[in-house]
Amino acid sequence: MVSTIRHLFTFNKKAHTQKSTPNSRQSSLSPTASIASLSTESSLSRPQTPTSPQQAFFSTPQDIRGIFRTLESYWSFYHPQQQDWIAFDFDQSDLLEHHYHQRQVSFKLPSCPGTSTGCTIHFQRPSIQQQQQQQQQGELHLVLDHDLVRTMVPVWWYEQDLPDGSKGMCRFEHKNQVRLEALSEDRTQLSLTDEGFEGATMTVVTTPPQQHEEEEMRGLLYVYLPLSLPSMDQKLDRFDHATAEDALSTRRGSV
């Protein structure tokens, strides 16, 4: 399942793979009324228009999208020189995940964080003789469940229309990943901003999980775009043009 999810989604803000929307969107999704950080008591069908001074220029939601929660693998290792745990990047994690599901005993990872060379990954503990040979070689060797760890972590996504018209998915930025996961246990509502929606504010309505699955729809995202209001410079510019036209008309009339 994890391999499927990694082929469905990208790991940056640009999604590229088509994904159909589950039928569960219309089931048990009734947003609450308040857009404060937490609210659990209301029966309105959608969030109210923001009324705070900061959001006074936002109208009703221009876009409504589904929200999804998935589980994906997270690989990290203990670096002996730095004496700290370091995470592999997305490409390295993909390669680790691939070989892990192929049930290989070991393989050479071309690049490894914090090292000038690659490292050897062992999914099974080497024999004592092999360990002695590895120490003589001086290369970095990582053993699963010893100094190499694989864990499953939740990731939150929102629907994104792709250039070809198909449906894709994009990640929420890191700070929102933390907030959504912290509030996902109970039916709740919160307002947030995300780097994927520049200049917009959003209201998220999450629902409790119906079934604990690796991929599930967990709510709706209401996107509020700011109203396009003329700036003071534009107002003054129109005023200046109007004054010039009036002056020209007056001059022609006097002639």
Q: For residues 97 and 12, give the distance between their C-alpha atoms in angstroms, rounded to a whole number.
A: 18
For every residue of 155-223, DSSP letters joined together read: EEEEEEE-TTS-EEEEEPPHHHHHHHHHTTTS-EEEEE--TTSTT-EEEEEE---SS--SEEEEEEEEE
Q: Is 205 left (phi over 0), alpha (psi -120 to 50) or beta?
A: beta
Both tokens assigned to 211: 């079934």
Summarised one tens digit per residue, pLDDT across range 193-235 is 999 888 888 999 988 877 767 888 999 999 998 765 555 555 4
Q: What are phi and psi of 173, to 5 degrees?
A: -70, 165
- State the total domains in the chain: 1
**Residue 59 located in a structural domain:** no
- pLDDT for the residue 49: 35
**Residue 124 located in a structural domain:** yes
**Residue 19 located in a structural domain:** yes
**Residue 95 located in a structural domain:** yes
**Residue 13 located in a structural domain:** yes
CB 204 within 8 A of CB 192: yes
First to last CA, the chain: 84
**Residue 39 located in a structural domain:** no
- pLDDT for the residue 234: 52
Q: Which domain range does residue 135 map to?
A: 1-30+65-222
CB 217 within 8 A of CB 23: no
Residue whose entry in the numeric block shows the structure tokens 């022609």: 252
- pLDDT for the residue 124: 92
Write down the pTM of the prediction: 0.60
CB 207 within 8 A of CB 29: yes
**Residue 36 located in a structural domain:** no
**Range list of H helices, 11-114:** 90-101
**Residue 126 located in a structural domain:** yes
- pLDDT for the residue 89: 92
Q: What's the average pLDDT block by block, 10 residues per block, for the chain (255 residues)?
A: 42 40 40 30 36 43 90 93 91 95 92 86 88 76 95 94 88 93 80 89 86 83 76 50 49 48
Instruction: Give, in degrees to the nearest 5, the angle at Cα 46 between 45 and 50.
Output: 150
